[in-house]
Chains A and B, each alone.
Chain A
Amino acid sequence: MHITEGFLPPLHAVAWTAASLPFVFFSVYRVNRLMREKPEIKLLLAASGAFAFVISALKLPSVTGSCSHATGTGLGAILFGPSVMALLGTIVLAFQTLLLAHGGVTTLGANVFSMAIAGPWVAYAVLRSAKGLKAPLAAGVFLAAMLGDLATYLVTAGQLALAFPDPASGIVGSFLKFAGVFAPTQLPLAVVEGLLTVVIVNFLREYSGDELQNLRFLPKPLVSEARP
């Protein structure tokens, strides 16, 4: 769910950009170092970034009829880890703004915070804890993608609530308002995205386990480790 250009008041746009910058800078630093150590990583990251853009542009089958798109944040966090995902997600969001007119330049910071930072970190944390609890991989992947998606949506609702507090019930009321209005599309979307991510991860484990082994952006590859 992209916040459109000009929707946020200037102060909020600046504040969210400032909040996202440290994460993105750290990611730039880390990716740049990775690419220096292994030049071929650049091509792998480029392919992954383009993949993330294309998957997010695909229309999802939707229950409610309105057209909705996958976010790919969960999948990205599972495959590459959240610290790489901050930069890749920022690039993808910027491309969505410039090529599809989704989102905006001034709201890029807010969108990066919800989609490239909050979503991936939640997904990563969920997958980690599911692994810690010895849950089946499919369950972990499903929960990670679904909760990552939900986190993105709730953070966006929170951003809107902070920017436009309700005159009667304040920020809390406003949050419930925005969370409520987007819930009919976002809740089914999160479930569909969770299922979709499971299908993708299963497919990849079955047919390209070797490539997954090579995706060492993570300290320990979460998905490939559990190969049968």
Chain B
Amino acid sequence: MRAIDHYAWTNRWRDWHPVEKGLPAISLLVLTLILPPLTTAPLVLAGAMLTTVYGAGIPWRTLVSVLAAPLMFLLAGIPFLAISVDFASGFDLALSPEGLQLALVTALRALAAMSCLAFLILTTPLTDGVLLLRRIGIPAGVIELILLIYRLIFVFSERALTGRQAQAARLGYSRLDRSVRSLGLLGGNLFQRALEQARRLEIGLMARGYTGELRVLPPQWKPSWTRLVAGMMGVGLVGLASGWLARSLS
């Protein structure tokens, strides 16, 4: 979590308008989903990864660790797309070519889609995107709620880690039953302190004339059409190349 947030705030493209990064990333994601994955996915994967590393200056290691986040899920789920089960005559397992094809296609599509997501989350701080939600009609109050949650997540996770360390030092996680108890106490404690924090925030804000609106200075972006058009052209190029590849292979 720290790594993703860290690079989102410090990468080379940090100061770009979020739409300049978000629109190409989402368009590429949509292309990945609707075009045939066998030809599109490798191109998308290469394009998104190269842009992330050489464009935004994210280290390979970080990018690979983000791409590997869903690995457990894929490892568990993908083999079962290839294998088919038949209950008609007892319990039959069969490996079919169509199943293998489906598994390959799904794995490729998931990986390519993940690379688009990785580009987006590693280059754009979460708050930048949230500020755009107002444009699509999310109430201002809910946006403030989201930004507050973002802020508090880091406060609480530090507390959770400290508490966990203290418990572990006292052998709180040495057995399964102790672990459940320790974690429960940690959770209860965290919630109690979360409520306390909320009350302190409330008192502090009330003292400053809080009436239900938190006024903050929004960041000043200089939108650049050149960058947006260049990004979209890159996406178009990937789409055209994959179409050409599909035709020449078939």
Which chain A residues have a beta carbon within 8 Å of chain B's beta carbons?
Answer: 1-7, 9-10, 13, 28, 31-32, 35-36, 39-40, 42-51, 53-55, 57-58, 60-61, 63, 66, 75, 79, 87, 91-92, 95, 97-102, 104-106, 160, 164, 166-169, 173-174, 176-178, 181-182, 192, 195-204, 207-208, 211
Contact = CB atoms under 8 A, between A and B. Distances in A.
Contact of A199 (B73, B80, B188, B199): B188
Q: Which residue among B84, B187, B192 has the maximum number of chain A CB atoms within 10 Å of its CB?
A: B187
A46 B152 contact: yes
23 contacts: A1-B73, A5-B114, A6-B29, A6-B109, A35-B212, A40-B202, A45-B145, A46-B149, A55-B190, A57-B157, A58-B187, A61-B176, A61-B180, A91-B146, A95-B153, A100-B69, A106-B29, A106-B33, A164-B102, A168-B88, A169-B85, A176-B85, A207-B192
A54 B80 contact: no
Interface in B68-112: 69-70, 72-74, 76-77, 80-81, 83-88, 92, 94, 96, 98-99, 102, 106, 109-112
Interface of B: 1, 4-5, 26, 29-30, 32-34, 66, 69-70, 72-74, 76-77, 80-81, 83-88, 92, 94, 96, 98-99, 102, 106, 109-114, 116-118, 120-121, 126, 129, 138-139, 141-142, 144-146, 148-153, 155-157, 160, 164, 173, 176, 179-181, 183-192, 194-195, 197-199, 201-202, 205-206, 210-212
Nearest to A1: B73
A5 B117 contact: yes
B180 A4 contact: no
Q: Mostly helix, strand, loop or mixed at chain B's interface? A: helix
Nearest to B67: A101
A49 B148 CA distance: 9
A85 to B, nearest CB: 14
Contacts of B186: 58
B194 A99 contact: no
A50 B152 contact: yes
A103 B90 CA distance: 36
A46 B148 contact: yes
Nearest to A180: B80
Contacts of B153: 50, 53-54, 95, 99
B87 A97 contact: no
Closest 8 CB pairs of A and B: A199-B184, A6-B113, A203-B188, A61-B179, A50-B152, A46-B148, A4-B70, A39-B212
Contacts of A45: 145
Contacts of B146: 91
A43 B151 CA distance: 11
Contacts of B185: 199, 203
A49 B194 CA distance: 10
A196 B192 contact: no
Q: Which residue among A39, A75, A174, A182 has the maximum number of chain B CB atoms within 10 Å of its CB?
A: A39
A196 B184 contact: yes
B68 to A, nearest CB: 9
B155 to A, nearest CB: 7
A42 B151 CA distance: 13
A50 B158 CA distance: 12
A149 to B, nearest CB: 14
Contact of B142 (A32, A50, A61): A32
B191 to A, nearest CB: 5
B111 to A, nearest CB: 7
Given A55-B190, A168-B92, A181-B76, A101 B152 contact: no
A200 B188 contact: yes
B145 A4 contact: no
Given A1-B73, A42-B212, A176-B85, A47 B157 contact: no
B120 to A, nearest CB: 8
B176 A100 contact: no
B121 A173 contact: no
